[in-house]
Amino acid sequence: MTNVLAFVSIKGGVGKTTLALETASALANHFNKKVLLVDANLSAPNIGLYLDLTKESTLHDALAGTLLHNTIYEAHGIDVITGSLNYEDEYDPFKLKKILNKFKPRYDFIILDSSPNYEELKPVIAAADKIFLVTSPDNVTLTTTLKAAQIAKKQNTPIEGIIVNKIRSPRHEYNLSEIEKISDLPVLAKIKDHKKIAEATNLKTPITLLDSANTISKEIKKLASAICGSPEKEGWFQKLIPIKKIIQKEKVNREFLRQQFYTSSS
């Protein structure tokens, strides 16, 4: 059973586009899953820019009536639907769920990037089976991100948890326990900021392919392993020390996620 997963936040610059792209890349290239990545940021789509895919037919065309298969392109092992930066014709964003449902049998996962715009989030969350909130570990971003959770709850779309991105100065930021207490949601991954992501963006290549040993790549692959039900690989340090002594909260949360996805896909 295909899962449509949306990465959402109501604040630009938190890295949800990067995380949607990298999760798609990890699922496709490290776990051999058939993945469709959709740029559903209708006002400011940028996955096409990330991957150097400037195509004539986009999601906007599909929402206006073009057959969806005419908008699908391939990059780095992922099927991709980009968006139009300057689309002038009328389109219906709430057709998203209907047109994606027709393509579910072709894919293991459909991943949606979303707009930080409150109104544009509604059709994306409506189209999703499950959502992941993306935040950085500061009060402003977390508070605004939780507004997306309100939309999901109103639409009865399950929220799987939070991905904490762009961790820069842990002493001056919320820790995972604080984030979980404020949000009442499990933290599934914690991703430190890293200069390598700028190189990956410049080279228009997912960091999970460019440098699979990078700390960002490792954490995203752990998240992807939970999503697709594969065991989480342990590093050499974990193999040397009993796991009970170094168990991490986000790893426990990912194990629950792994079991939930396995059950829903059975």
Q: What is the pLDDT along the chain (266 residues), one digit of tens a residue?
A: 679 999 999 988 999 999 999 999 999 999 999 999 999 999 999 999 999 987 789 999 999 999 999 999 999 999 999 999 989 899 999 999 999 999 999 999 999 999 999 899 999 999 999 999 999 999 999 999 999 999 999 999 999 999 999 999 888 999 999 999 999 999 999 999 989 999 999 999 999 999 999 999 999 999 999 999 888 876 544 454 554 444 577 888 888 788 776 555 54
**pTM metric for this prediction:** 0.91
Residues in the chain: 266
Helix, strand and coil percent figures for the chain, each rounded to 5? 50, 20, 35
What domain count does the chain have? 1
Structure token digits, residue 37:
């990545």
First to last CA, the chain: 8
Which regions of the chain does DSSP assign to beta strands (E)?
Answer: 3-8, 35-40, 72-75, 78-81, 109-114, 130-135, 159-167, 187-192
Query: Comparing C-alpha atoms, which of 78, 142, 148 is closest to residue 115?
Result: 148
User: How many angstroms separate the CA atoms of 250 and 252, rounded?
Assistant: 5
CATH classification at residue 206: 3.40.50.300
Q: Which domain holds residue 142?
A: 3-265
| Residue 184 region by backbone torsions, left for phi larger than 0, else alpha for psi between -120 and 50, else beta | left
**CA 178 to each of CA 56, 137, 183, 244: distance values in angstroms, whole numbers, following the listed order:** 45, 9, 8, 22
Q: Rounded to 5 degrees, what are φ and ψ at 217?
A: -60, -45
Cβ atoms of residues 188 and 198 within 8 Å: no
Q: Rounded to 5 degrees, what are φ and ψ at 93?
A: -65, -25
Q: What is the dihedral of CA 80, 86, 87, 93, to 10 degrees?
A: 60
